[in-house]
Amino acid sequence: MRKAALHNLGCKVNAYETEAMGQLLKEAGYEIVPFEEKADVYVINTCSVTNIADRKSRQMLHRARKRNPDAVVVAAGCYVQVAADSLQKDGAADILIGNNRKKDLAVILEEYFAGRRKTRRAVETAGQAVGGELPGTPAAAPNAQSCVIDIAKTREYEALSVSATAEHTRAFIKIQDGCNQFCSYCIIPYARGRVRSRGAAEILEEARTLTAAGYREIVVTGIHISSYGTDMPEGERVELIGLLEMLDRVDGLWRLRLGSLEPRIVTEDFVRRIAALRTICPHFHLSLQSGCDATLKRMNRHYTAAEYAAGCALLRKAFDRPAITTDVITGFPGETEEEFEQTVSFLRQIGLYELHVFPYSRREGTRAAAMPDQVEEAVKKERSARLLALNREASSAYRRSFLGEEKEVLMEEKVTADGAEYLAGYTREYVKAAVPWDGRKQGRILRGRLTEMINEELALLTNVSDVADPV
C-alpha cells in the first residue's frame, strides 16, 4: 500500500479541497499519513493570493522533495494555475494539477506510476540488449507532468465532496467556485476562473451525509458565495438565500454558518428571509477592505462605505447583537493618511466584532501592482498596528457584552489557559467559551451562563446543562 501525505496552504476552500483529495486517495487504496512522515506521494494544495503565498508554496514543495527524494511530489491548486511555467523551471514537483482537475488526482497518479513502470521496463530491456544495466535510470521524466486547463474557459463545477473532516464538530461545504469581481488587488479570478455553482441537490446530499455522521454545524463556503446561482440558467436558478432555506430544513442540522459575504447581498429581503431560519448563526463576515470611498473605487469594490453601513444596520435590526466581522487592507496604493483616517473613523462608527487586518501585498499580475504611489512598508506596518489595536478594543467589548447571559456552546477542543485545561467551543455568535476539561462533553452542545473572561479571548461557561441532540 502506498503512503500519501497532504498539506494545505491558504483559504477554507483550499482546506475543503485538500480533505476531498485525501478522501479520493484513501478510496483508491492509499494510506494517508502526516505530512511530516516519509511518504510515497506528497500533495501540496498551493495558494497564490499573495507573493508570500507563492513563496510558501514553493518552500513546501521543496520540503517534500527533501523529505523523500524518491517520492512523487504533486503541486495542486491556485499557484499551479497561475504559475505553471515557473513551477516547471523550479523542478520540485513531478505533477502539476491546476484547479478543476483535483478530482482526477487518483487517476493522474495511477497513470503517472504506470508511465514510470513502462519507462523503467524499457530502460531495463535496453540495458539487457547491451549486456548490462544502463546507469542513471530516471525515476520520472525531466519535466513535470502538467494537468492544467484554461480555467477562464470552463463553466463546469468540479465534483469534489467530503463525508468526514479533520474537525470533529464542524464541517465545511463548498457550494461554488470562481469569482467575477476582479478586484484590482486580487489574482483569484485568474486562478479560479469565473463563477461556477454546485447543484443544490448535491449540496443537500452532502449536508445530510455530514449531519448523519454527527456534525452539529455546517459552514457554507466558496470563493464568492454571494454569487451562488448567478451562472445557472434562468429557469433553474437557485440563489444563495434559496439554498440556505433548503439547508435549514435538513433533518438533524443544528447550526448553519456562512462564509464571507459580499456587502451588496445584504438587502431587506435577504435579511428578512435569513432571520427566519432556525439554524442560522448570527455571524456575518462582510468584507469591507476600506472605509474610504476613494480607496474602494481604486480597489474596484462595487459598493460605498455608506452602503456597507446600511447592510450592517439591516442585520442589527433583525438580530440581537449579530457578530459582524470583516477584512481590511491597509497601505493600498495611493492610500493617503487622510484616507486611512477615514477608514479608522468608519470602523469606530460601525462597531464590528473582529477585523482581519492585511497590509497590502503587491501581487504580480494584478492591476494594483502597477499602480503609482505604492505605500512604504514602514507606513503599512504602522497603520496595521493601529488597526490591530482597534480590533483588540472592539472584539473585547463585544465578547464582554454577553457576560451574564445564557448561551449554547458547541464544545470542540481542549485548550490551556493560565495553566489550566478547558474544553472550549463557540456560541452561535462565534464567541469562544469554555468549561473545565471534560472529554466526555466534546462534540456536545452545552447551555450555560457566560460569567467572566478567563483571558481576553475566552469566556467561562458555568451552570452548564446538556442540550438534547437535534432530531
Q: How far is it, in rounded angstroms, from Cα 412 to Cα 258?
A: 18
Tell me the domains of the chain and their CATH numbers: 3-149 (3.40.50.12160), 155-397 (3.80.30.20), 406-466 (2.40.50)
- Of 27-31, 182-186, 222-226, 233-237, least confident by mean pLDDT is 233-237
- Of 52-66, 126-140, 307-321, 439-453, least confident by mean pLDDT is 126-140
Contact present, 216 and 169 (Cβ < 8 Å)? yes
Per the prediction, the chain carries an average pLDDT of: 93
- Of 36-50, 159-173, 282-296, 382-396, least confident by mean pLDDT is 159-173
Predicted confidence band at 123 (pLDDT cuts at 50, 70, 90)?
very low
- Of 8-22, 134-148, 380-394, 409-423, least confident by mean pLDDT is 134-148
**pLDDT single digits (tens) 352-363:** 999 999 999 999
- Of 43-52, 140-149, 254-263, 377-386, least confident by mean pLDDT is 140-149
pLDDT at 139: 40
pLDDT at 117: 61
pLDDT of 135 over the 70 cut: no
Q: How far is it, in rounded angstroms, from Cα 21 to Cα 75?
A: 12
pLDDT at 468: 62
**pLDDT single digits (tens) 419-433:** 999 999 999 999 999
pLDDT at 115: 84
Q: How far is it, in rounded angstroms, from Cα 173 to Cα 218?
A: 7
pLDDT of 130 over the 70 cut: no
pLDDT of 136 over the 50 cut: no
Q: How far is it, in rounded angstroms, from Cα 293 to Cα 296?
A: 5
**pLDDT single digits (tens) 173-224:** 999 999 999 999 999 999 999 999 999 999 999 999 999 999 999 999 999 9
pLDDT of 243 over the 70 cut: yes
Predicted confidence band at 59 (pLDDT cuts at 50, 70, 90)?
very high
pLDDT at 143: 78
**pLDDT single digits (tens) 81-119:** 999 999 999 999 999 999 999 999 999 999 999 987 665
Question: In the chain, what percentage of residues exceed pLDDT 70?
Answer: 94
* pTM score, whole prediction: 0.91
Predicted confidence band at 469 (pLDDT cuts at 50, 70, 90)?
low
Predicted confidence band at 368 (pLDDT cuts at 50, 70, 90)?
very high
pLDDT at 405: 97
pLDDT of 287 over the 90 cut: yes
Question: What are the residues facing 284 on neighbouring strands?
Answer: 324
pLDDT at 137: 34
